[in-house]
Structure 1
Amino acid sequence: MSRASQFSAVNLYKDVVVDAESWNGIPTPDVIDITCKAIEKRGTKVIPVADGNEALAVIEKLIPPGSEVMSGSSTILIEIGLEYYIAGGYSGWNLLHAKINAEDDSVKRAEIRRKSVTADYFISSANAIAQSGEIVACDAGGSRVGAWPYAAGHLILVVGINKIVPTLEDALSRVREYVFPLENVRAMKA
């Protein structure tokens, strides 16, 4: 993690009972390789990076200036510095999130929100990845996962290797036993 925020899991553990050790293990290089190959076999390109700084650098290279970009709410995107990069005006991207926040008319804001899932580039994260290649994400309002299946021109997922688990059932358990309790605390603090 490059930059822990007030909403990073490590800063929420004191407020919630979760088994962080069980759900945040660092897999072996072999498990990482097996998982990456399984994801790619399902048609998704994987770009392994060493850390958050490298992840941000890859995103910067993948998205051309002027591109329409939307990002789903995600702590990892804060941690790698994406929000700072965007807020600082460094990207040169056409930022739909900024347009949503700037629109006072609720009807127009809703229209921009609907359009946001069809952005040229949608940046998001996931809650768990099974070694068999299934990527699991849950979202209360649909702002992240609505873009995933077909809507966004390009989907960029930034996901830590700590989210790799053996099976799809384990991925769903990670969401129920670890992610939901943390997200509940995070939402109350936000």
Structure 2
Amino acid sequence: MGRNNKVELQKLYDELKGCQLCPLGKTRKNLVFGQGNPEAKIVFVGEAPGADEDEQGLPFVGRAGQLLTDIIVKGMKLARKDVYICNILKCRPPGNRNPLPEEICKCEPFLKKQLQIITPRVICALGKIAAQTLLKTETPITALRGRFHYYESIKVMPTYHPAYLLRNPAAKKPVWDDVQLMMKDIGVN
């Protein structure tokens, strides 16, 4: 009998919920582990929870999250529950600052375990920090997006973060191009 991804993710969550590996564990309201289909073909990975996410304990629930939901539902014609959404960091950095390298170093092994459990066909890296962390590169997101890369044996499509799209609506077209490449890869057109 095969493994149960939902149970495995719950075990990982239980292991993480009391995490104090970095100072963010002391300042968070809620652990923001991840949400969605434990057997998803696509996993969206952001950088870290914001204030709304910290308050609710769920990823991408603020304005950027609404835009991500629109991309999934209106653009990809999938339900949000069909995909899996998480972040590199599971706790909110104060003032929504960028994650520090030592915070990423402490949290990334848990993301790796999530991805090993889910085994998606494609990871969509949302923004510079997610893309550079997964791909172990300093290359700018502008040079990474638009084509597939690999995280271990899983395809990665880097694209702009939804928060960036809220500030720069002209970037929606390149994101749509990236989304279409992912949809074609998983057989959803």
Q: TM-score, structure 1 length as denominator? A: 0.28
Q: Which has the higher contact order (CA 8 A, sep 6+)?
A: 1
Structure number with greater Rg is: 1
Q: TM-score, structure 2 length as denominator? A: 0.28
